Structure formats: C-alpha cells, structure tokens
C-alpha cells in the first residue's frame, strides 16, 4: 500500500487510505463496493478525503502521482476530470445511508490557487463527520463511463479517532 500523507493539517491522529482497484473500465452507473475492512469498520470516522492525480498548470504534480504500485501492479490514479463522474455512498452499521451519492469532488482538497485552474472554488475544503461505517455495504458509483486507462485506482482516505 502507498504510504500517503494527507495534504494540509490532519483532522485526527489516524488515517487509512483505501485504493479501490479497477482492472476494466467502469461503465455508467457501475457501483464498486468497498471490501470489508476492519480498519474502517472498527473506527469512528471523523473525516473523508478523496484523491486524484493533477498537474498544476501542466507543471507541478498535486495530491498523488500519476501511477501507484500496489501488490507489484502499477495502477493509474484517477484524474481531477474523473472526480466529477464519481459519487460516494456511505452506509452505517444500522444499514442507513448516511452519505448518499455525494460527489467525489466535494471531498477533494483543491490547492489554494486561482479557481480558474480547476473550475472550482480555491482553497481547502474539509468535510468532518462522526460516523460509524459499514465498509462492505458502502460504495462508489460512476455517473459516466470512466476515461482513465486501466488498470486504475480510486483513492479515498478515512480519518478516524482512536478505535472504539
């Protein structure tokens, strides 16, 4: 697993980055469920951050590199353009959708640069929560066919307080 340090200040002492792996293109309305993960399920999630590969003005990399290696396989990282195609649904342990089809872009921390570079408001946006998550029933959905070359990953970091 990639050892990733979140950009900006941490919202808790612990974090776990899940890399949702795709070996074939995602089609419109495809869902990918998280695997059952005790790191997420046994914690109190207090923040969520999504990630992408972006080149600032075509020069400086931002957030994650273009590729990551996981289990000796090189995966492309989704791009900022792809973020608008993805939504996140989080299910809690009562099997309620506590976050339902939220745009991935709403969990991404854009750099504090002029907004015209990303067509978004400049500056950091932090989403804070107090959630118990049932990872195996939570999922992402592609609203349009994916455009990233396969294999690719969709990274998402969960920040959590100490285990319950």
pLDDT tens profile 115-130: 555 555 555 555 678 8
- Tell me what the pLDDT averaged over the chain comes to: 80
- What pLDDT sits at residue 162? 61
Q: The pTM is what? A: 0.79
The answer for residues whose C-beta is within 8 angstroms of residue 88's C-beta and 6 or more apart is: 48, 50, 99, 101, 102, 103, 104, 107, 138, 139, 140, 156
pLDDT higher than 90, residue 79:
no
pLDDT given for residue 21 in this prediction: 92
**Could you tell me how many residues make up the chain?**
164
Give the mean model confidence (pLDDT) for residues 119-147. Answer: 79
| 8-state DSSP, 124 | -
Instruction: Indicate whether 70 pLDDT > 80.
Output: yes
pLDDT at 34 over 70: yes
């Amino acid at each position: 697993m990639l050892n990733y340090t979140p950009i900006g200040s941490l919202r808790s002492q612990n974090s776990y980055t899940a890399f949702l792996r795709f070996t074939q293109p995602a089609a419109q309305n495809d869902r990918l469920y998280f695997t059952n993960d005790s790191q997420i399920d046994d914690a109190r999630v207090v923040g969520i951050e999504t990630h992408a590969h972006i080149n600032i003005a075509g020069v400086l990399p931002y957030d994650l590199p273009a590729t990551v290696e996981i289990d000796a396989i090189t995966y492309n990282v989704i791009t900022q353009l792809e973020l608008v195609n993805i939504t996140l649904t989080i299910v809690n342990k009562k099997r309620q959708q506590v976050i339902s089809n939220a745009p991935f872009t709403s969990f991404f921390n854009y750099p504090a640069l002029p907004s015209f570079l990303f067509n978004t408001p400049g500056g950091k946006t932090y989403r804070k929560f107090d959630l118990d998550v049932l990872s195996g029933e939570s999922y992402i959905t592609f609203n349009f066919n994916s455009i990233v070359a396969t294999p690719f990953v969709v990274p998402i970091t969960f920040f959590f307080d100490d285990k319950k």
